[in-house]
Amino acid sequence: MEKPSLNVAFCGIEMQTPIVLLSGCVGFGEEYTRINGYSNQDIGAICLKGTTLEPRLGNTPHRVIETPGGMINSIGLQNPGARYVIDKILPTLDFTETRFIANISGSSIEEYGEITALFDNSPVDAIEINISCPNVKEGGAVFGNDPEVSARVVEVCRKATNKPLITKLSPNQTDIAHNASRCIDAGTDSFSVINTLMGMSIDIHKRRPVIGNNQGGLSGPAIKPVALLKVHQVYQVCKQHNIPIIGQGGINSAEDALEFIIAGASTIGVGTALFNDPLICKSINDGILTYMENYQVSSLSELVGTLEVNLPAPATPACGC
C-alpha cells in the first residue's frame, strides 16, 4: 500500500490537507498566523472573512456568546468592503503557503454579481457565496431559504467569474437537497454544508436576548448531528455530478472529520473548535493519517461517500419516535 496522503484536489485546487478554516473564524487569515506554533502547512485553505460590496460596521453587541456545546454569533458581516480587501489585504497574504477563498455576501442579487466580478480580478483561488443573507430588495427574505432565489444568485455569480464557485447552504430550509440541485443547474462548482443554525440565548435577569441582534448563528459540536445528515442528503445529489462538498458543523476531532468524509464531504471545515484550541488542525490531521494507516487507505478520496446506510424496519417512523 502507498503511504497515506492528506493531499486533496478540490475543484481543481490542490490542497495539502482536507482542512479548510471557515469564514469569520480567522479574520482575513493574517491574524491567525501570529499564534505561536501555528503553521499553514496544517491546512488546505482559508476562507476569508465575509465581505460585502461596501464597508459594514456590523451588529450591536453582544455579538458572541458561549452556549452548551457551541456558541452563538451575530457579527453582522463587519468588514472593510470588497475593494479594500482586494487592494490592501490580499497583497499581504502568502499564496505560496496555502489556498485562499473569498467569502461574499450581498443584499441583492445584483450586488452578489458585482462583488464576484471584483474578486474575479484578484488572486483568490475560489469564491464562496454566502446565501444566508436577507434580500433587502425583496422584503428581507433570506436568499438561501428559497431554491429558486438561491439559483438566481449562483447564476449571476457564474456569469461574473471563471473561478470555482462554492455555495454555502443554510440548514434553515425545507429541502436542502433540492436547493443543491437547483444551484448545480445554475452553475455552482461545489458546496459548503452547512452554515449555522439559528438560535437564541436569554438573560433571565434582564429578560432580554443576550445577543444584540436578538438571534444569531449556532455553531459547534451541538449542531454536528444536523450537519452530518445535511451533508449526506446533499451528497446524494452531488455524486451524480461529481460536485465536491466542504463538510462543516461541529468538527472537533479527527473522528468528527472522518464522519463527514464518510458521509460525502471531500474536505472538512474547522471553525468554532479553533476558539477552544487554535492548534487543533495538526491533531485532526494526525488522527486522520492514523486511521488511514489502520484501514490501509492511501487517499482520502477512497473514503468519500462510503457510508452504508441501514435499511429501515417496515413501518418505522423516520423521526425516531
Supply the residues annotated as catalytic: 133
Rounded CA gap, 141 and 57, in Å? 21
Rounded CA gap, 125 and 216, in Å? 29
Grid cell, residue 255, equals 473522528
- As beta bridge partners, residue 5 has 299
CA distances, 265 to each of 15, 36, 234, 246, 261 (Å): 14, 30, 10, 6, 4
Question: Which H or E run includes 253?
Answer: none
Q: How big is the chain, counted in residues?
A: 321
Q: Work out whether strand 19-21 and strand 197-199 pair parallel, antiparallel, or are unpaired.
A: unpaired
Q: Work out whether strand 197-199 and strand 267-270 pair parallel, antiparallel, or are unpaired.
A: unpaired
Rounded CA gap, 74 and 60, in Å? 9
Please check whether residue 27 is in contact with residue 33, taking contact to mean a CB–CB distance below 8 angstroms: no
DSSP per-residue letters across 48-96: PPPB-SS-B--PPSP-EEEETTEEEE-----B--HHHIIIIIGGGS-TT
Residue spans of alpha helices (H) in the chain: 82-84, 109-120, 147-160, 176-186, 224-238, 254-263, 273-276, 280-294
Please check whether residue 180 is in contact with residue 238, taking contact to mean a CB–CB distance below 8 angstroms: yes
Interhelix angle 254-263/280-294, rounded to 10 degrees, is 60
Residue-wise over 34-45: b if at least 16 C-beta within 10 A, else e? eeeebebebbbb
